[in-house]
């Protein structure tokens, strides 16, 4: 099973476009978990067990682990998902990008060490920097196109030959980088107009859509602008809105309610 196949099956089987972002921060997890040997894993495990019936993917953000030396927590988290919920793919959000020989090592980090099913990558270094990822046919390569942050346009909106850079990236992704059918794009929910433009040219290519919730993206607009004809095509991520939905002992139950509410809201517009 390739990442794309697994994703398509999960969309259907789970009836969900929701991705839960595991941006788990030591300073924000409930106190009773802080004394665990692997507190971020303990937190993630409960979130995962509570939400696994409601999502099409999980997306740990690697910086939350590497900032505090919690690589083991990340390994345990991904292993837990694979072992208990094998139909739910794991996207490692790492935004890697480097020259070929180093990109090879980053691909090994994401796919071999952490056993992620897909990874986010930054296209600024050009095609040869993406090749070590693209060559992994069974894995997903999710290329930054129009990101969700306020300053996304600083570089991504610069125009060249009448087209903005993010559009050039989308065109290259569709026409040059996708021979293995394993490319996806990152398009922020905070920019529904751009999301619609990129959908028009990217046909059925799946998008990872961050920016819902804490970042201010609107669910209805994102779904209507970004969905494919069959009402899929989107991996709509919520991190803080789900994982910090509640506090104390009931945090996982609260995360389940938040994930369910988001799934239902998204499904209303598909």
Q: Are 122 and 155 in contact (CB under 8 A)?
A: no
Q: Interface with a copy of itself includes 24 (CB under 8 A)?
A: no
Query: Residue 38 in contact with residue 76, Cβ under 8 Å?
Result: yes
Stretch that binds a copy of itself, among 7-15, 27-35, 161-169, 252-260 (CB under 8 A): 161-169
Within 94-123, the residues that bind a copy of itself by CB under 8 A are 95-103, 105-106, 108-109, 112-113, 122-123
The reply to whether 220 sits near a copy of itself by the rule CB under 8 A is no
Q: Which residues of 140-173 are buried (b: 16+ CB within 10 A; e: fewer)?
A: bbbbbbbbbeeebbeebeeeeeeebbbbbbbebb
Which listed residue (32, 137, 150, 204) binds a copy of itself by CB under 8 A? 150
* Catalytic residue set: 95
Residue of 17, 47, 119, 169 that binds a copy of itself (CB under 8 A):
169
Pairing relationship of beta strands 183-187 and 140-146 according to DSSP bridges:
parallel
By C-beta, is 79 or 95 nearer to a copy of itself?
95
| 8 contributes a contact to a copy of itself by CB under 8 A | no
Residue 10 CB, shortest distance to a copy of itself, in Å, is 25
Look at the chain and count its residues: 270
> Which 188-217 positions form the footprint of a copy of itself (CB under 8 A)?
210, 215
Of 69 and 248, nearer to a copy of itself (C-beta) is: 69
Strands laid side by side in the 118-121 sheet = 57-60, 18-22, 234-238, 207-209, 183-187, 140-146, 118-121, 91-96
Size of residue set near a copy of itself by CB under 8 A: 53
Residues 210, 222 contacting (CB under 8 angstroms)? no
Quick one: tokens of 74?
């990340």
Binding site for a copy of itself (CB under 8 A): 23, 61, 63-64, 66-69, 71, 95-103, 105-106, 108-109, 112-113, 122-129, 144, 147-156, 158-161, 165, 168-169, 172, 210, 215
């Amino acid at each position: 099973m390739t990442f794309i196949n697994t994703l398509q099956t999960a969309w259907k089987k789970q009836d969900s476009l929701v991705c839960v972002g595991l941006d788990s921060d030591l300073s924000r997890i409930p106190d009773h978990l802080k004394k665990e040997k692997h507190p971020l894993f303990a937190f993630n495990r409960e979130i995962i067990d509570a939400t696994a019936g409601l999502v099409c993917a999980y997306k740990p953000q690697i910086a939350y682990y590497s900032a505090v030396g919690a690589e083991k927590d990340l390994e345990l988290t991904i292993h837990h998902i694979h072992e208990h919920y094998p139909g739910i793919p794991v996207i490692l959000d790492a935004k890697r990008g480097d020259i070929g020989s180093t990109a090879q090592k980053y691909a090994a980090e994401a796919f071999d060490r952490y056993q992620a099913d897909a990874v986010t990558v930054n296209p600024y270094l050009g095609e040869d920097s993406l090749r070590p990822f693209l060559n992994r046919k069974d894995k997903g390569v999710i290329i930054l196109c129009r990101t969700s942050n306020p300053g996304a346009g600083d570089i991504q909106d610069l125009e060249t030959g009448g087209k903005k850079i993010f559009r050039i990236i989308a065109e290259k992704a569709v026409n040059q980088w996708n021979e293995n059918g394993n490319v996806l794009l990152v398009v922020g929910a905070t920019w529904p107009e751009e999301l619609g433009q990129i959908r028009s040219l990217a046909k059925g290519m799946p998008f990872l859509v961050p920016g819902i919730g804490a970042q201010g993206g609107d669910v209805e607009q994102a779904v209507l602008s970004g969905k494919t004809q069959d009402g899929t095509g989107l991996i709509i991520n919520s991190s803080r809105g789900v994982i910090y939905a509640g506090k104390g002992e009931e945090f996982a139950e609260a995360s389940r309610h938040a994930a369910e509410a988001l799934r239902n809201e998204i499904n209303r517009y598909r």
